[in-house]
Chains A and B, each alone.
Chain A
Amino acid sequence: MEPYIPHTDQDLKEMLDVIGVQNVESLFSTIPSEKRINSIDLPDGIDEFGVLSKLRKMALTNASADRYAFFMGAGVYNHVIPSAVNQIASRGDFYTAYTPYQAEVSQGTLQSLFEFQTMICEITGMGIANASMYDGASSLAEAVLMASRYTQKYKALVADTIHPEYLETVKTYVAGPKIEIEKISHDSDGKVSLNDLKSKIDDKTSCVVVQYPNFYGIIENLKAIKEISKDIIFIVVANPISLGVLEAPGKFGADIVVGDGQTLGIQMNFGGPSFGFFAIREDPKFVRAMPGRIIGETVDVDGKRGFVMTLQAREQHIRREKATSNICSNHALGTLYASIYLSLVGPKGLKEIGELNISKSHYLLKRLEETGHFVRTFSAEFFNEFVVKTDLNVSKMNKALFKNGIIGPLDLSKIEEQMKDQLLFCATESNTAEEIEKLISVLEAI
């Protein structure tokens, strides 16, 4: 069953004649015969209807956000996505193109990436952004590598309030260049401990990493952190959808801002793909240490404005073992979703969406506290997530919620053992008052 292969018997015959061989088999004669196989141990192909039936069945066994209310965040969020985003991004002229190697027939890709770079700079308050990385976690890992490459110092300070999977990713990536990771603890209000940070900065320190808002939803005090870390590279992992209301990290003197773009118009997709963004302060020297593709403006031979991939001398195809990263394919299509999303919502919409997230999550917290079963763990201000400790049986609670069409909060003990009975709740603009009241009524009935 090969609806995608055009060869007729007649084609085959004519083509073999031109090549001058008897059969297709003889084209594989360079493969050592003792290792040759004749078939793959897989079933034969299925027709389109059959494939779809099979996949639909699998899809239906998953509890998805079209049928369930989600109060779970922790790095992936159920936001409202304007219909136009997917409609435009599904154009084959976008998604079936590749890296814009031939700029003259890739201006759609190149201009949209240039616009994306601008939008990322605008929301983060940074000077330069690249054309995307894989995801938030690997962007952060690359930022830590870049900081060491640039400073030639090999100790990175990482707040223990960043996403645990981001921390694990960083730990993997630093094994090669042998960068030491030291964790910075947090205070009882959920913010980075400034004292701990201060005590750990020394002349081997390349950078400090904090997340904004952090893994527990807390809005870190970037200003105070910058004051302490003036002489090292300040890396901020930001949730871009919060930056319509929260002050831009660039305003606080961040040197590198990275993060995951899923919140900007991309479905949860079970955690991928989205894209990673990577922005730095405006600095012509610093940018040469940056990983990833960068798009620049120029003109063509007729003086017409156009866009190209630029500063390629940093990249693997030219610099090989001396490249700033091994990244080749990135996640450009994800940036298109984000660009369309940000163009649709605009500055006003992004602010309103941020405010909605804040109001909904604070209302949710208030209602949870009123049940008498939940107490806040950290006291500092938060965006759309917060941690509470409960006296309910967590697995029983989540089962009861599920039965009532609700995907409950993240049980933090599944990620960090010492966080027993601690729950990470999230509410976004997609959670209605009705959903929140239903959640509360189920909890009250337990």
Chain B
Amino acid sequence: MELIFEISEHGRRGFIPPKLDVESYDLPDEFKRAEPPRLPEATEGDVVRHYTNLSRLNYAVDVGFYPLGSCTMKYNPKLNEYASSLDGFSKIHPYQDVSTVQGALELMFNLQEDLKSISGMDAMTLQPAAGAHGEYTGVAVIRAYHEYKKDFEKDEMIIPDSAHGTNPATASMNGYKAVEIKSDKNGMVDIEELKKIVGPHTAGIMLTNPNTLGIFDENILKIAEIIHGVGGLLYYDGANFNAIMGKVRPGDMGFDVVHFNLHKTFSTPHGMGGPGAGPIGVKKFLEPFLPVPTIGKKNEKYFFDYSHKHTIGRVRSFYGNFSVLVKAYAYILTMGGDGLKRASEMAVLNANYLKAKISETLEVPYNTRPCMHEFVATTEPLLEHGVKALDFVKRMLDYGVHPPTVYFPLIVHEDIMIEPTETESKETLDKFVEIVEKIAKEAKENPKLLQEAPHITPVRRLDDVRAAKQLILRWK
């Protein structure tokens, strides 16, 4: 498709600003821009067509099945979009007097309370803008706590080799050394290894449970004991919370800090990459370290609570991604406690059903017990036909489904990580299984079909190497 700049014609306009109805003020020339920016010049109709046509090149949850592991691409309810667009939510300013935004604060307060109930934590902040931002905030809280206790020896954060890349990156940003712990033969944290590497330097451990293999780490209580035993804290990466609502709470498993991804578990849309929201919850003893402000309530009035004595400060401006919070709250109201529990149950059912079916075609490592909301399969045996996991999933594009996550977690070779979510029907899953079976057959009979896939998408396989070499990062 043409770029918006390529359809631009000098003199066209898509919007006329309001007329000047006061006397004009002319800024001295020294401040004025010498050359105008080369922005597009197009009519409103041109712009609408351009972006509408762009949108049609996208695959999305509204289009079809999107089993992207670890990302929880569940259906995004329209009610939530509508609610967040109400003038009373979208056209309010973060600095207006609190007495004029009580409804907004009430919503945030209620959401804090609901997330506390769901996670078993004692205090929440809604400030972080994404999962990784929540991780950043949570680990900063842990660091502030150790420093408050004058425990300056603690400079290591333990992270499993199956962890998401944001975990070690977060540890580094907070000044910690990221120490990798191997997984055992069951895909869980190797307890013997853990005992060996913990010590006075251990500030904590960052865990995703269920982990990125979709396996619930059964030794979690033991892990908590070991980490707490050396004065470390447990961080819960809530990316996989969709598996456990109403079943178990991180707060009860020994975790001290938890983040949620509202754009995963609580159905807020992923927005081509964001915005999401990554609230964190902490145990009581960490509350004084939370970023300010949180939302408080006194005598039926809501207020911004700046009282956290040892606050790490702010991690962004204002209070959080408010309209994302509205959507998550609408979702919780709609689902209720019973519905959230059922969401987790059906998410886990769907994953186990797919696993049972797909394990007839592809190898599924660590397949000794039920998985949680997702599982990892491998196409490694197809390497002998010259077919890589990437080829396998690119072929899925020809069949009109979005591929699962590939090459993550790093501990399984040629892996594809499948997360169906609870909003997909048995029919959708059955169709997906058929596609996987078909592609597996094609891989053996006609590997070229996969190696050259996709064939019928708006563009075909793109040259990543060239992109990184030539570095064309803007239109000129």
Contacts and interface: CB of A to CB of B under 8 A. Distances in A.
Given A96-B60, A271-B94, A350-B39, A1 B336 contact: yes
A45 B339 contact: yes
A43 B337 contact: yes
Contacts of B277: 273
A59 interface: yes
A108 B37 CA distance: 24
A120 to B, nearest CB: 9
A217 B277 CA distance: 30
A52 B79 contact: yes
Nearest to B348: A27
29 contacts: A4-B75, A6-B423, A27-B348, A39-B341, A57-B103, A60-B88, A62-B89, A84-B44, A91-B55, A93-B55, A95-B76, A97-B270, A108-B54, A138-B315, A138-B316, A171-B313, A178-B175, A245-B32, A247-B34, A269-B92, A270-B89, A300-B459, A310-B464, A316-B168, A346-B14, A349-B14, A359-B22, A381-B27, A402-B97
- Tell me what chain B mostly uses at the interface: helix, strand, loop, or mixed: loop
Contacts of B1: 107, 111
A410 B330 contact: no
A123 to B, nearest CB: 5
B333 interface: yes
Given A62-B92, A329-B132, A351 B248 contact: no
Interface stretch (B321-329, B380-388, B440-448): B321-329
Contacts, number: 705
A117 B474 CA distance: 6
A109 to B, nearest CB: 4
B41 interface: yes
B247 interface: yes
Given A268-B91, A273-B323, A326-B166, A92 B317 contact: no
A172 B133 CA distance: 12
How large, as a class, is the contact surface on chain B? Answer: 35 or more
Given A4-B267, A37-B252, A66-B87, A24 B345 contact: yes
B463 A298 contact: yes
A41 B76 contact: no
A2 B342 CA distance: 8
Interface stretch (B135-143, B227-235, B279-287): B135-143
A172 B317 CA distance: 12
A316 B318 contact: no
Interface string A138-163: 10000001000000000000000001
A29 B402 contact: no
The 8 closest A-B pairs by CB, nearest first: A271-B318, A59-B88, A45-B336, A92-B62, A333-B271, A271-B94, A42-B337, A332-B273
A154 B341 CA distance: 49
Contact of B321 (A2, A111, A272, A311): A272
Contacts of B329: 55
Given A18-B353, A62-B89, A103 B462 contact: yes
A319 B414 CA distance: 19
Interface stretch (A182-190, A197-205, A370-378, A429-437): A429-437
